[in-house]
Structure 1
């Protein structure tokens, strides 16, 4: 089952376009790193600046914006290609292209939602002196 999940995630990454999906994946890795840093610092009772917790939310927002930007670019390219074609295309072909274009925004919004959950949990569990 795990291999199938990994294969499907890799397929989504490839289908969504490596050029557009890789930065979103890097933002996810940065967010996970920030989250681990904040959790470890809190477990060691270190005082951390609120900007580190805020950075988790902002990096997630950047992932969502990058996903939306790449979707708009994908739509722009698709509509340009459709404009060049002289014969009618089946509706399924057009919808398949739109489905592919929405992968990046879905991935970016998923990362943003996870970032917001992490941000809210970290805010609610913050020590009183921070």
Structure 2
């Protein structure tokens, strides 16, 4: 796979900026969260599917590195690679880019865990998730 999965495309709005005029960290996190849900849907773990089956995905770990500041009016995209699929968890990496030039603004690496929402216990991921994730493990550009 030459290119990572496009999981988000949007813009930085003025109300997302802090007193220094840069997008506040809470909005980076929010956009990465939206990208995570796009990834999960791509892997067959859409919110409706999870709700109907009494399952969920929870964030167990997240590390974000900020490379350059974003300001109001900047167009952004997030591209995602899967780094590893365990029996109950998936580790993935988001790269937020300023468009159209594609410069990296931030990178976030996360671990999501598959759970039973009633018992609040981790559960094995469906086999289909691994099948759908495998092609996303070849995007070397995000490693």
TM category (shorter chain) comes to under 0.3
Higher relative contact order (CA 8 A, sep 6+): 1
TM-score (norm 1): 0.25
Is the strand fraction higher in 1 or 2?
2
